[in-house]
Structures are given as C-alpha cells and as structure tokens.
Amino acid sequence: MLLRHKPELTSADVTPKSIYLQRRTLLRGMGLAGAAALAGTSLLDLLAPARAAAATTKLSGVIPGAFRTGEPPTPYNDVTHYNNFYEFGLDKTDPAKNAQNFRTSPWLLSVEGEVRKPRKFSLDELLKLAPLEERIYRHRCVEAWSIVVPWIGYSLQALAKLVEPTPQARFVAFQSFYDPAQMPQAKYTGLEFPYVEGLRLDEALHPLALLCFGMYGETLPNQDGAPVRLVLPWKYGFKSIKSIVKIRFTSSQPPTSWNLAKPSEYGFYSNVNPAVDHPRWSQAKERRLGEFFKRATRPFNGYAEQVASLYSGMDLRKNF
C-alpha cells in the first residue's frame, strides 16, 4: 500500500515549549560558541539569562493549517521576550516582565455593530467555534524586525459568519482590554488606550486573517496577547491587536491607535511595503530575531500572491 497522505505534525507533537527550553539548557552546557554554531542561533540569544514566562497550557486538538511558511520558527524565548505591548510598557523587554500577573480569565469577547446576531463569547465558546489550526506565519514589525511563529487559531471569517454581518458592514473595528490598575505603565507610552485597530471588511474576511489563541502548541503567553489576538501576516505588526475584548462591524472606517498617535507615519492600511519608507527609516530590509544579517523585506511580507488582489487599483503610496 502506498502511503501517499502523511499527517503533518504540529508544534504540539514535535516541538512543545519544554523541548525548546530543554535544548537551550543543553546547548548552554556545551560551550557557547560551538553550541551557537550547531544550533544556528546567535550568541546573544544563548547568552541571555534564562527568563521566566507566565503560565501557559497545552492546546489540544490542533491540526496543521494550510498556511505554513517553510522557514524555521524563531526561538520561543525570543518571541516571548521581545514584544510590543504598550499597555505593559514601552521597552521590548517590558511586556514579559509586567504582563505576568495579567488576569485573562474569565474573558468575554463582544461581537456587535452591523450584524444580525450580536453576541458575547466566552473564551471556551471561542475555542470550540472552529477547528484550531497551526499556521506558521512570517510576522514583520514596522520597526524592521521580524519573527516566524507557529500560531494557533482559525480564520476570523469563521466568527464573522456566525454573527452575520448586515449589508451596511464595510469595516471591522477591534478593541483591546484596558485596565489602568493592571496596566499602570500604559499612561507613560504616548498612545491612547484602549488600543484600537481596524480592517476593511474584505481584509477581515480574508482566510489569512487569523483569530489567534496560541503559539508553539500552547495558549498565548500574556505578553503575546493572551487570551485572544489577531495575526495579519501581510500587515505591519501593530495591526495585529492583542487581548481583544470587542469586535464591532461598522459602516465607516474606524480609528486606529497608531494612526491617531502619528497620522503622518502610520496609515490605516499598513501593508508591509519595502518600496515605501517610514518617514524616519527604510522599510527595505528587516532583521529576523536571532539572526545577525538583515534580509530583504518582501511586498505584503511575502503574501502578495494571496492578498495583492484586495488592493488592485489602489495607490499604495497614498494608502500606506
């Protein structure tokens, strides 16, 4: 018998966090230079002290999804200790420290606005709404660093279908949780809170747009947007809003946090575009966390084949 179909394994099967961490401990004992060469990791990464992570749990029943870049995932420790989550501070190392005691349970996500069936979902309801897929996406921050992450979730489309958007729905607005008592660092960052984001309806319904609950086989660490966030791999990282409590379907274009803060630097669309520089730096190259040399940034972060048609006829210099 020919075994033509073979199941692809997910991170939960082969590379749970424990193995990432065990491997690091092992390598540390081998002598740094040799270990770094063997692992293909940067010396800086190995020299970093072992760092605590907020509690996460394994997600079960995760199936390999259709979108899986062949590139190797960025080490878990880098993805969880180099974050932007301004509610928990300005520095990349702040969220891992300051989000540890963030309370993410119970959690309610309200889906409302131009929909026939507005509804509040508990996290358990959300986790059962559609099969959980592992998708390995490239993720490119506007600050020119990038990561490759095995995310877990399903297309936002699945949730949208359930609430039945009305014909008036043309955009989708997203809002993060905000509690100044749990997030005392937020007020020093210069952004307004709660953090808000938005998409055109067709962008939100694109199969690549991921409603995300986990990564590397487990639930999201707090600093990465627990318990539920967006991941939009063709857009700059700030569009991928974390710790979402509200999704509102609207008839007009919603405000977005970075556009409110600096409209000359951050537009509504924010598609990854190496041809359009940020006013203060080039967007032509990026540094993958854990690597030394920069690599070229690709149009739509390498997802042009899937998403470019959403923007046909639009001037992407004007609509940045």
Ligand X SMILES: Nc1nc2c(c(=O)[nH]1)N[C@H]1C(S)=C(S)[C@@H](COP(=O)(O)O)O[C@H]1N2
What is the smallest separation between the CB atom of 198 and ligand X, expressed in angstroms?
13
- If DSSP states are collapsed to H, E and C, what string results for 67-111? EECCCCCCCHHHHCCCCCCHHHCCCCCHHHHHCCCCCCCCCEEEE
What is the smallest separation between the CB atom of 92 and ligand X, expressed in angstroms?
8
Residue 96 CA to residue 115 CA, distance in Å, equals 36
Residue 103 CA to residue 107 CA, distance in Å, equals 9
Token pair for 178: 């905000």
Residue 224 in the binding site for ligand X (CB under 6 A)? yes
Residue 306 CA to residue 320 CA, distance in Å, equals 19
Task: Using alpha carbons, list the distances in angstroms from residue 181 to 103, 136, 184, 187, 284.
Answer: 11, 35, 6, 11, 40
Residue 216 in the binding site for ligand X (CB under 6 A)? no
Among 67, 238, 268, 300, binds ligand X (CB under 6 A): 238
Question: What is the footprint of ligand X within residues 10-49 (CB under 6 A)?
Answer: none
Q: How many residues bind ligand X (CB under 6 A)?
A: 16
Of 11 and 176, nearer to ligand X (C-beta) is: 176
What is the smallest separation between the CB atom of 38 and ligand X, expressed in angstroms?
26
Q: Name, in order, each residue with C-beta under 8 angstroms of 99's C-beta and a sequence gap of 6 or more.
A: 54, 85, 88, 221, 222, 223
- Whether residue 118 is preceded by a cis peptide bond, meaning omega within 30 degrees of 0, is no
Among 241, 247, 272, 307, binds ligand X (CB under 6 A): 241
> Residue 227 binds which entry of ligand X, Mo ion, none, with Cβ cut-offs from 5 to 8 Å by kind?
none
Residue 174 in the binding site for ligand X (CB under 6 A)? no
Helices (H), the chain: 11-14, 17-28, 32-39, 43-47, 76-79, 94-98, 123-128, 156-163, 201-204, 257-261, 304-307
What is the smallest separation between the CB atom of 226 and Mo ion, expressed in angstroms?
18
Of 35 and 289, nearer to ligand X (C-beta) is: 289
What is the smallest separation between the CB atom of 86 and ligand X, expressed in angstroms?
4
> Residue 224 binds which entry of Mo ion, ligand X, none, with Cβ cut-offs from 5 to 8 Å by kind?
ligand X
Which residues are at the interface with Mo ion (CB under 5 A)? Answer: 84, 141-142, 237-238
* Choices 24-32, 43-51, 109-117, 239-247 (CB under 6 A): range interacting with ligand X: 239-247
What is the smallest separation between the CB atom of 122 and ligand X, expressed in angstroms?
20
Token pair for 78: 């880098």
Q: 70-109 mask for ligand X (x: CB under 6 A)? A: -------------xxxxx----------------------
Given a contact cutoff of 8 angstroms between Cβ atoms, the answer to whether 78 and 125 are in contact is no
Q: Which residues bind ligand X (CB under 6 A)?
A: 83-87, 141, 176, 195, 224-225, 237-238, 240-243
